[in-house]
Amino acid sequence: MSINKIAFRNVFRQRRRSLLTALTMTGGFVLLSFSFSIMDGTYETAIQKFTKAYSGHVQIHKRGYLDKRSIYSTLNESDNIESGFTDIPEIENWTKRVFSPSLAFRDKKTSAASIIGIQPLNEAKTTSLSDTLKSGTYLPEIPSGNVIIGERLAKILDAGVGGEIVLIAQGADGSIANEIFRVSGILKGGINSPNSLNCYMHIKTAQDFLALYGRYHETAINLTHYSASEAVAEKLRTLVNNDEIDVEPWEVVQKSFYDAMTADKEGIWITVTILAVIVGLGVLNTVLMTILERKREFGILKALGTTPFQIFRLIVQEMLTLSVLAVILSCLLSLAVNTVFTIYGIDYPEPVSIGNIEITTMHGIITFRSFWVPSLLVTGTAFFVSIIPAAMAALVQPVKAMRAS
Amino acid sequence: MKEIIRTEKVTKIYRTGEIEVAALRDVSVCINEGEFTAIAGPSGSGKSTFLNIISGLDHPTSGDAYISGSRINDISGTKLSDFRRDNIGFVFQSFNLIPVLSVTENIEYVMLLQGIPRKERSERVAAILSEVGLEGMENRMPFQLSGGQQQRVAVARAIVTSPGIILADEPTANLDSATGAALLDMMKKLNKKKNMTFIFSTHDRNIMDVSRRLIVLKDGRIEKDEVRG
């Protein structure tokens, strides 16, 4: 027998009250765990879609390219920095790109357009570009005069599949580059799509067009999971070992998206605070009732020689015991609820946009944090809320307490 | 005989707003080890207040109380809890067993606070259960016992640590006369066998009759202090 044992048995003295308190704790836990699961699941989906659509998980550029996208800030194919990629197990695929602003026109219609030279096969493995074709065909692996363009650009230029457009840009040698290209495909995406004004062509075609022979601007790398980005970037920095080359994870490359998402995630702490108050009030009610009802008993315990600290510990331990039991129950319930929502998800009535990525289904995810944060919330709240009432019980005067009915 | 309790001009005044009520007035008593003493008197005469003061549950407004030579006024907080735990056993009018503990666990409770090892606790509990006639009821919970049985458990809890002084506040008040007499007989035997000091506050004529010393309080003063043969 010990104080722990007495506390454990006291939890079951007022079963209905303990059950209601445990249910309050369980409700708070499950709700918070679900919130974390859905929030983390939604962002997991958004990050995966976002990085798959555009950036990949890690990018390599000439130093300073991300700050100032100059056509002259190039990497050399002869450096062959990809040679060590296969030694890094987290790397799945990679692709090289060339970028340039340009002016596109067709008949009497003109528009700004972004030329992006890609390695068609590698790009298709690294990003979802080939899956976003609305009409026409994807670029062939051999260089050609074909381009695929964004839907908005196609509309502005009134260009359909098979039509021709003219691109004008500044070549890296100072010349004015201009060429007729054939539209082989049109990409999906509305006005907000990052692809809307893009014009993709084979990287060799782009290099010839822009006089960037043997040079390119970017290597985008796809990993087994986005969470490995910083670790892989570090490995790549060591591998590349060149101060003139930047290796950055997607969090840096897509800083505005990452910052917006991080700020949005902070909103969960409002939920945590509200639930802490609800759980706290439930526990406070129970602990105050306990002290009021058992005042005489505390007086007797003190008369028998129980120290104030032992009384304090008894009360706190009772609340902690109740909270631990509630946490065990809550973990099982949350696991079941979160698993269901991880597998089946909930369809949004209308697709929502996160960083220009459309999310149609809200999926949960089972993470360690969706269990430890609610566990800490419930046990921590139970502990802190019971401190003052327990101190009050510990300081009762035995004579006065024993007169209580 | 060795002196175990002494009070010198103990006065206790309760204040409620501007009203003052003197529960004890200049009470000076000396009780020796092994005495079987009854404190009697009408309701409000100060019996319970006297027990509270000599047990350290309450402090006198003036005067001094000593237990085994220690001035109890000077002890407070955890030290006072430890002092009570080690020196005084309580038997209350309404038994006051810990409801979530079995008979054995209730008796063990004070020993647990004293940090006595489990084996020794078990041995002492087994011996005391036999002395108070509760063999076979070790695992019963308080609600499964009659009033007399509960009071026997309370006596066992009070004496199991051999505290030297047993303070019993109206121990037979909630018992029928036969059960009360049996309990009293048991305590009398324990007094003789273990030379423990028993001090009762009581209205019970039977307790007064068997006590070796009878102190009668009235209006907070000692009206009579009589030692019988």
Angle between helices B77-87 and A308-343 (to 10 degrees): 110
Among A43-57, A326-340, B112-126, B157-171, the minimum mean pLDDT is found in A43-57
A308 contact B CB<8A: yes
Examine residue B22 and state whether it is found in any structural domain, yes or no. Answer: no
Share of chain B above pLDDT 90, in %: 47
Is B188 domain-assigned?
yes
* Chain A residue with the nearest C-alpha to that of B85: A305
The conformational region for residue A267 under phi > 0 = left, psi -120 to 50 = alpha, else beta, is alpha
Interchain pair B90, A304: CB under 8 A: yes
pLDDT given at position A170: 92
Average pLDDT of every residue of chain A: 89
Cα B173 to the chain's mean position, in Å? Answer: 14
Contact (CB<8Å) B109/A304: yes
How many inter-chain contacts (A to B, CB under 8 Å) are there? Answer: 59
Confidence of residue A78 (pLDDT cuts 50, 70, 90): confident
Instruction: Report the Cα–Cα distance between both ends of chain A, in Å, rounded.
Output: 28
Put simply, the chain A residues between 384 and 403 with a CB less than 8 A from any chain B CB are 397-399, 402
Where in the sequence is the domain holding B143, given as residue range(s)?
37-59+75-227
Lowest mean pLDDT segment, chosen from A267-271, A320-324, B202-206: A267-271
Q: Domain for residue B10, yes or no?
A: no
Inside any domain, residue B218: yes
**One domain, residues A108 and A165:** yes
* Structural domain span for residue A360: 3-50+262-403
- Which helix H or strand E contains B171, and what residues bound it? none
Nearest-CA distance from A284 to chain B in Å?
22
Number of helices (H) and strands (E) in chain A: give both, helices first.
13, 14
How near does any CA of chain A get to the CA of B181, in Å? 25
Angle at which helix A268-293 crosses helix A15-50, to 10 degrees, equals 170
Chain A residues within an 8 Å CB radius of B105: 1
The type of residue at B201 is: S
Q: Label residue B110 exposed, middle or buried (CB < 10 Å: 0-12, 13-18, 19+).
A: buried
State the DSSP code for A139: P
* Per-residue pLDDT tens digits for A87-125: 899 999 999 999 999 999 998 899 999 999 999 999 999
Q: B60: pLDDT confidence band, cut at 50, 70 and 90?
A: very high
C-beta atoms of A304 and B58 within 8 A? no
The domain boundary residue, chosen from A161, A183, A216 = A216
Q: Which pLDDT score is estimated for A293?
A: 86
Per-residue pLDDT at B95: 83
Chain A positions touching B58 (Cβ under 8 A) are: 397, 399
Let me know if residue B13 belongs to a domain.
no
Write out pLDDT tens, residues A271-314.
888 888 888 888 888 888 888 888 888 988 988 889 899 999 99
Its ipTM equals 0.86
Report whether pLDDT(B109) > 80. Answer: yes
* Nearest-angstrom CA–CA distance, B46 and A90: 84
Task: Looking at the structure, tell me whether residues A140 and A187 fall in a common domain.
Answer: yes
Closest CA to A168 of A151, A180, A152: A180
Q: How near does any CA of chain A get to the CA of B142, in Å?
A: 13
CA distance to partner chain B, nearest, from residue A290 (Å): 14
Mean pLDDT of the B2-9 span: 91
pLDDT (tens digit, 9 = 90+) per residue, A7-40? Answer: 999 999 888 989 988 998 999 899 999 988 988 8
Q: Indicate whether A322 and A286 sit together in one domain.
A: yes
For residue A6, give the nearest of B84, B90, B100 by CB distance.
Answer: B100
How many CB atoms are closer than 10 A to CB A308?
18
- Please list every residue in chain B whose beta carbon sits closer than 8 Å to the beta carbon of residue A310: 113
Would residue B89 count as lying in a domain?
Answer: yes
* CA atoms B161, B162, B164, B165: torsion sign: positive
User: Please, which pLDDT band fits residue A405 given cuts at 50, 70 and 90?
Assistant: low
Q: Are A305 and B110 a contacting pair at CB < 8 A?
A: yes
Closest B-chain CA to A1: B105
Supply the CATH number for residue B151's domain.
3.40.50.300
* Same-domain pairing of A20 and A87: no
| DSSP-H helix ranges across A60-158 | 120-126, 151-157
Q: How far is the C-alpha of B164 from the C-alpha of B158, rounded, in Å?
A: 10
Gap between the Cα atoms of B199 and B222, Å rounded: 15
Nearest alpha carbon to residue A287 among A398, A393, A375, A403: A393
**Contact between chains at A305 and B55 (C-beta distance less than 8 A):** no
Q: Which residues contact A208 (CB under 8 A, 6 or more apart)?
A: A143
- Residue B30 in any domain: the answer is no
Q: How far is CA A259 from the centre of its chain?
A: 11
- Beta-carbon separation of B90 and A303 below 8 A: yes
State how far the Cα of A49 lies from the Cα of A76, in Å rounded to an integer. Answer: 30
| DSSP letter assigned to residue A5 | H
Q: Residue A231 falls within a domain, yes or no?
A: no
Mean pLDDT, residues A216-223: 94
What is the secondary structure of A207-274 as a DSSP string? HHHTT-TTEESEEEEEES-GGGHHHHHHHHHHHH--TTEEEEEHHHHTHHHHHHHHHHHHTHHHHHHH
Question: Is the residue at B159 inside a domain?
Answer: yes
- Residues A197 and A284 both lie in one domain: no
Cβ count within 10 A of residue A54: 20
Q: What are phi and psi of A285, to 5 degrees?
A: -55, -45
B57 to A303: CB separation less than 8 angstroms, yes or no: yes
Q: Is residue A250 included in any domain, yes or no?
A: no
Cα separation, A93 vs A95, whole angstroms: 7
Strands (E), chain B: 3-16, 19-32, 36-40, 62-67, 70-71, 88-91, 165-169, 197-202, 213-218, 221-227
| Total of domains in chain A | 2
Closest CA to A75 of A51, A101, A102, A99: A99
Q: Which of A161, A193, A216 is the last residue of a domain?
A: A216
Contacts A313 to B, Cβ<8 Å:
none
Integer distance in angstroms from the first to the last C-alpha of chain B? 15
Among candidate residues A118, A65, A119, A90, the one with its CA nearest the CA of residue A239:
A90
Q: What is the band of B131 on the pLDDT scale with cuts at 50, 70, 90?
A: confident
* Helix %, strand %, coil % of chain B (to 5): 40, 30, 30
B52 contacts on A by Cβ (under 8 Å): 399
> Which of A162, A196, A216 is the last residue in one of the domains?
A216
d(CA B188, CA B35): 10
Residue A354 belongs to a domain: yes
Interface with chain B: mutation pick from A13, A304, A403, highest number of B CBs within 10 Å: A304
Distance CA A214, CA A256 (A): 31
Q: Please write the tens of the pLDDT for every residue from A229-270.
A: 999 999 999 998 888 999 999 999 888 888 888 888 888 888
Chain B hits for A4, CB-CB cut-off 8 Å, are: none
User: Do B84 and A303 lie within an 8 Å CB cutoff?
Assistant: yes
Quick one: tokens of B134? 């509760």
Report the residue from A1, A300, A398 with minimal CB separation from B108.
Answer: A1
- Reading the block at residue A100, the tokens are 């340039």
pLDDT 10s digits, A355-395? 666 778 888 999 999 999 999 999 999 999 999 999 999 98
Query: Domain for residue A222, yes or no?
Result: no
Helix orientation angle between A15-50 and A308-343, rounded to the nearest 10 degrees:
40
User: How close is the nearest chain A Cα to the Cα of B117, in Å?
Assistant: 11
Question: How many domains does chain B contain in total?
Answer: 1
